[in-house]
Each structure stands twice: as C-alpha cells, then as structure tokens.
Amino acid sequence: MSSAVDTLWLRTIIRYFRSKSRIIESLATPLFFLLILGFGLNSVSTIPGTGHSFIIFLIPGIITMAVLFTSVFSGIQIIWDRHFGFLKETLIAPVSRNSIMIGQTLGGATTAIIEGMIILVLSLFIVGSFPSVLGFLIAISFMVLISISFSSLGIAIASRMEDMYGFQMIMNFLIMPIFFLSGALFPLTNAPTVLKAIAYVNPLTYGVEGIRYGFLGVVPAINPLISFAVLTGFCIIMVFLGGYLFNKVKV
C-alpha cells in the first residue's frame, strides 16, 4: 500500500512542476484579489477590534483561496486518467483502491499546500508583516486540513463523473459560494445575521479563521480549538466519502 501511495503522490507532484502554465494560472487569481482588492480597499478600511488594515486581514483569505481551488480541482486528474486509460491500468493493479485514492488525495493536497505557501511568502513580502513561528505552524496545520478535505471532495465528485467540463461547472457552482460565504473577504463579527449563520455551517469558515488566527495572532470570531476540531471532523468525513465513492468507480 505504501509503495502505491508514494508512487501516485510522486506522479502528481512531478506533473505539477512540469506544468508551468498551471502554476502561473493557479497563482494569478489569488494574487489579483490580493493586489487589486487588498490595496484598493486598504486605504478606506480598517478591521474593527484588530487594529489591522484590510490587506493584512485579507491575506489569510487569499491563502485559503489558493489552497481551496488547487485542492478541489485536483480531482479532475481522475477524469483525465479515465479518458487516457491510466485509471483502468491502476485499478487492475494488485493494490487496494483505498491506497490509490489516498495517493491521489495526498498528491492534490501537497500541490495545494505548495501554492498556499507561495502566496503566503509573497504576501509577507508585499505587506512587510511576518507572523511568529508558532503562528506560522498553526496556519500551515489549517492549510493541511483544508487541502486534504477538499482534495478528497474533488476526488469523490470526480469518481462519479466522466465529463471534465461538467466537473468544472459543478465544482465552480459548489466552491464559489463556499469561498465567498466563509468570511475570507469580510469579518464575521460585523457580518449580517443571515451571512453569519451561513458562515457557521460552512466548513471552510473554520479553516479561514484558523489561518487568520495563526497569521494575525489575535483571537478570531471562532475559537481556534473549535475551528481545529470542526475542520478535522470534516476532513475525516471527506476522506471516508472520497474512499467510498472511489471504490465504486467503474471503467
């Protein structure tokens, strides 16, 4: 099992670094949001209760964006592999389907974390603000949970589809509301009651708040321990869901 997981993980990483256009494209949107939205509103917005400018507040949300979109769209590799016959060759190999799913999930999660780290480092140099070592580790731990959770979700959905364009449409329809209603772009403490209620049932909210706690060093709207517990539970559920649906794949 370990050998199959390592091989599929390494395959995903190699494909990622060979696709320079994919790296640039996946980094462009988060950086666009950070530079245009961040600097555009920075001069007129200060986040109450934190003393931080808007662009500092926005950085954890942009990091979450990079991790979220990269991890969830890694599931499209399942559809590509199905079209080109690689998935069939993998499934008939003498390894369990669970190990294949885990390898694919970890590969997608790793690429998402890499992109999140790139955005994090670039953001630090752009704004000239650096978190503590402990805060940095806390932010990374939440990035790991987000990436594994949504890589598993992407694989779960891709396991039931054969059309990559349909997969992209469904994921955009699902992921865009999850992101915009997570508090990534606005503080939950000042949000309208309806938006706040929706945010609290959104699992990504707990990831955003966790990263924000690590990055800013201030207690967010949700206790970090609660955020960690909720996101861990969601991660476990998604891994089991992804494994269950992947075991039902037919080629």
Q: What is the pLDDT of residues 16-74, one digit of tens each?
A: 888 777 777 777 778 777 777 766 665 555 555 555 677 788 888 889 999 998 898 88
Q: How long, in residues, is the chain? A: 251
Which alpha helices (H) appear in 73-223, and where do they start and end? 76-83, 86-91, 97-127, 133-158, 164-180, 193-200, 203-216
Residue pair 107/155 in contact (Cβ under 8 Å)? The answer is no
Q: What is the average pLDDT across 84-99?
A: 76
Domain ranges of the chain: 2-246
Q: Say what the pTM is.
A: 0.88
Is the pLDDT score of 204 beyond 90?
Answer: yes
Cα separation, 36 vs 240, in Å, equals 39
- The CA distances from residue 32 to 39, 123, 162, 200, in Å, are 10, 12, 32, 27
- The CA distances from residue 84 to 93, 194, 243, in Å, are 16, 45, 22
Q: Which of 33-47, 152-166, 225-239 has the lowest mean pLDDT?
A: 33-47
Q: What is the average pLDDT across 182-206?
A: 85
- Looking at residue 144, its pLDDT comes to 95
Residue pair 209/229 in contact (Cβ under 8 Å)? The answer is no
**Which residues 6+ apart lie within 8 Å of 168 measured at CB?**
73, 76
Amino acid at 91: L
Query: Looking at residue 73, what DSSP letter applies?
Result: G
- Looking at residue 50, its pLDDT comes to 54
